[in-house]
Amino acid sequence: MAQGNIKRKPLVVGNWKMNTTADEAIELARSITTDIGAIIETDIVICPPFVWLSPIASVITNTSIKLGAQNLHWEDKGAYTGEISARMLKDVGCEYVIIGHSERRQYFGETDQSVNQKLKKAIDAELTPIVCLGESLQDREANRTNALITNQFNNDFEGFTDFEKVIIAYEPIWAIGTGKTATAEQAQEVHGLLRELLRQKTDGYNEVRILYGGSVKPKNAADLIAQPDINGFLVGGASLKAKDFKAIIKAVSGKD
């Protein structure tokens, strides 16, 4: 439900997931910064695996590209083997963190409750959370998309008010890593719903950026970003190919 001519600065986030060796990560980051590192029309974030955060932070220094993480724990420290705290992420230079990605929900038992806890911890640590939600193919085919998205939204943001500090990412689960993509119209329908849900929570609903994630590629980026409530992308596979990732950024920035 877009209103007026609100201008939201686009955001493109590259989620590298569990990919790259150290050398591959550094080379990919260097390739991305070439002729992209100075773009100011679009905010750019890359989210490498935890172990490569520090070296990648060095590569993107003095560019417009920001560093993000793929997950965090809701406690500051303690006996949580294998986990990463918000304080650790801040210490290596992260400014953003992905929370509640569908793969975290599917494979690692992430729940709306844990998303809510992580969201609040990210805000406390002055990290910008990118909160993910989306429906399965079964939900879409059963016409349950709107009900599921509404329920997820309300649970994920229960007791939360700092919406001006949040990024939301709609990622239809049926389009993650499958090569399938929601049409621009399908994506806008859900983004419009999310805008309306935000309107019910905050006066600043029109400033919140809502990203689309789900097999985003250079060939569909322009059509998707043209929709009034799609304000950027959470990019998976295409972010591992510097040429494709840069093409998406240029499409979003109007430089293609």
Which residues have C-beta within 8 Å of that of residue 133, sequence separation ≥ 6? 100, 149, 152, 153, 156, 168, 169, 170, 171
The whole-number pLDDT of residue 174 equals 85
* Residue 173, both tokens: 């689960």
Catalytic center residues: 101, 171
The whole-number pLDDT of residue 175 equals 82
DSSP 251: H
Domain definitions of the chain by residue range: 11-253
Distance of CA 209 to the CA centre of its chain: 10
Strand ranges for the chain from DSSP E = 11-15, 43-47, 65-69, 96-99, 128-133, 167-170, 209-212, 232-235
* pLDDT tens-digit readout, 115-147: 999 999 999 999 999 999 999 988 998 999 999
Instruction: pLDDT tens for the chain, 256 residues: list them.
Output: 344 446 799 999 999 999 999 999 999 999 999 988 678 899 999 999 999 999 999 999 999 999 999 999 999 999 999 999 999 999 999 999 999 999 999 999 999 999 999 999 999 999 999 999 999 988 998 999 999 999 999 999 999 999 999 999 999 998 877 777 789 999 999 999 999 999 999 999 999 999 999 889 999 999 999 999 999 999 999 999 999 999 999 999 885 5
DSSP 43: E
pTM, whole model, 2 decimals?
0.95
The whole-number pLDDT of residue 37 equals 67
Domain 11-253 class, CATH top level: alpha beta
Query: Residue written as tokens 């985003």?
Result: 216
